[in-house]
Amino acid sequence: MPLPVIGVFDSGLGGLTGFRKLRELLPDHPLVYFGDTARVPYGTKSNDTIVRFAKQDVRFLLSQSASSVFIACGTVSSVALDDLRATFGIPFTGVVEPAAREAFRIASSKEGKVLILGTDATIRSRSYESKLITLDRGLSIRKKACPLFVPLAENLHAGRGDRAAEAAAHSYLDEFVDFRPDVIILGCTHFPLLSDIISDILPDSALISAGEEAAKEVAAAVSKSPSRRRKNASPSCVKEAFFTSGDANTFASDASVYLGRKIEKAEHVHIESFEEDT
Ligand code: DGL
């Protein structure tokens, strides 16, 4: 029997930060990734639009035989997780809870100071904040929407020395230098690409990649599942496949940078055709 396929999606390339970790933890598992690069960013859109796009993304992954979905997007995890769970009868893992738990673990052994960075929609939703407050009402929490980080990361303008990325980071983060957060939640999966620049401005803070924390949770669930433990379980013929709503060649070449290895190909998907009842 083949192992069940895990679907992974994001508005674009950012979810590959979670995918990369998941691949490291589950080297043989069949994974299908969809990046909605034609419609990125999600974080500046209305909640209704984010939910509608996320449902199309999930329908596409189901068409690729996914039997569970890793939402490698902070925005969708913040805004659409409940809707997705209510609509589709499969397991979903979002990035908010795993990242908030890790932030709490670190902050509670220090001064309890957490800074949440995310997209406009994520910050507006108060998703990370709400989870942190359930863990400890006494935490000192600050937050900041950093929407410019998304196109910068999507266009691979995110490394140390990139003047546009550094200028954006200073404009968002300088106000937190005196706060000296113990932990910064990179609550958007695109943001780990800017880790070096963020650490240069706030050097004493631990950075949490929401996608990586969630990937650990997905991998832990898989290793406990009966299908994984089955002695005759084997990878399906295709170990991984990458799909995008944008240009497939551009996606394959940019995704190779995110993953730190060359991916052979990506395929284009007309994602709007995965609207309900079509
Ligand atoms: N990578 C996404 C997130 O984690 C989305 C960024 C966007 O599309 O605005 O929030």
Domains of the chain as residue ranges with CATH: 5-94+212-274 (3.40.50.1860), 96-210 (3.40.50.1860)
Amino acid identity of 34?
F
Strands in the chain per DSSP E: 5-10, 31-35, 66-71, 92-93, 113-118, 140-145, 183-186, 206-209, 240-244, 267-268
**CA 111 to centroid of ligand 1, rounded, Å:** 29
Specify the higher pLDDT residue, 231 or 84: 84
Which DSSP state fits 158?
-
Please tell me the predicted confidence (pLDDT) of residue 226. 72
Residue 272 confidence (pLDDT) above 80 = yes
Please tell me the predicted confidence (pLDDT) of residue 219. 97
Which DSSP state fits 11?
S
Which DSSP state fits 271?
G
Smallest CA-to-CA distance from 94 within 236, 221, 205, 3 is with 221
**Closest ligand 1 atom to 150 CA:** 6
**CA 231 to centroid of ligand 1, rounded, Å:** 38
Which residues, including other chains, have CB under 8 Å from residue 88's CB and lie 6 or more apart?
Answer: 58, 62, 69
Catalytic residue among 152, 188, 207, 210: 188
pLDDT tens readout for residues 5-59: 999 999 999 999 999 999 999 999 999 999 999 999 999 999 999 999 999 999 9
pLDDT tens readout for residues 150-199: 999 999 999 999 999 999 999 999 999 999 999 999 999 999 999 999 99
Token pair 């963020």: residue:
198
Pair 10, 153: CB distance under 8 Å: no
* Rounded distance between C-alpha atoms, residue 232 and residue 216, angstroms: 24
Question: 73 an active-site residue?
Answer: yes
pLDDT tens readout for residues 216-269: 999 999 988 776 555 455 555 568 999 999 999 999 999 999 999 999 899 999
Question: 188 an active-site residue?
Answer: yes
Smallest CA-to-CA distance from 74 within 34, 118, 9 is with 118
SS3 of residue 137 by DSSP: coil
Note the pTM of the prediction, 2 decimals. Answer: 0.95
**CA 181 to centroid of ligand 1, rounded, Å:** 23
Catalytic residue among 6, 32, 66, 73: 73
